[in-house]
Amino acid sequence: MRGEILGLERRRRWSDDEKLAIVLSVGENGATVSQVAQRHEIRRQQIYAWRYELRRKGLLTPDDATLFLPVDITSPPEACAPEASLALIEVVLRNGRSLRVDAHLEPAVLTRLIQAVEAA
């Protein structure tokens, strides 16, 4: 059995700069990894491998678009704190729906709420 090459050799050599340009083109104008791979006639997995290789070499840093902002964590305001005296009542309507409302809700507001839910 004799081996012959029937066509162009598909193995190509890419410089680190070319690899970096291809990897960074993912996401430009919404380009996906698949689209970039098709454009350069390579497999998607090759882009992922290059991304890993370039990060390992220190040529690819985390995305500059990523931004970390400081956050101050404070206690919630008094209005957000749950009250021990909060009492809920459940109203089951004729259409099978139910409402859970504060027991101290004004009757006129509750009536309008029931009418709105039954009409929906």
What would the pLDDT profile of 62-116 be if each residue is shown by its tens digit? Answer: 664 455 566 666 666 565 555 556 788 888 877 677 888 888 888 888 888 887 8
Give the pLDDT confidence score for residue 65 in this predicted structure: 47
What would the pLDDT profile of 37-55 be if each residue is shown by its tens digit? Answer: 999 999 999 999 999 999 8
Quick one: three-class SS letters along the chain?
CCCCCCCCCCCCCCCHHHHHHHHHCCCHHHCCHHHHHHHCCCCHHHHHHHHHHHHHHCCCCCCCCCCCCCCCCCCCCHHHCCCCCCCEEEEECCCCCEEEEECCCCHHHHHHHHHHHHHC
Give the pLDDT confidence score for residue 53 in this predicted structure: 93
Q: How far is CA 23 from CA 7, 44, 49, 55, in A?
A: 28, 11, 10, 11
- Cα dihedral: 94, 95, 96, 100 (round 10): -70
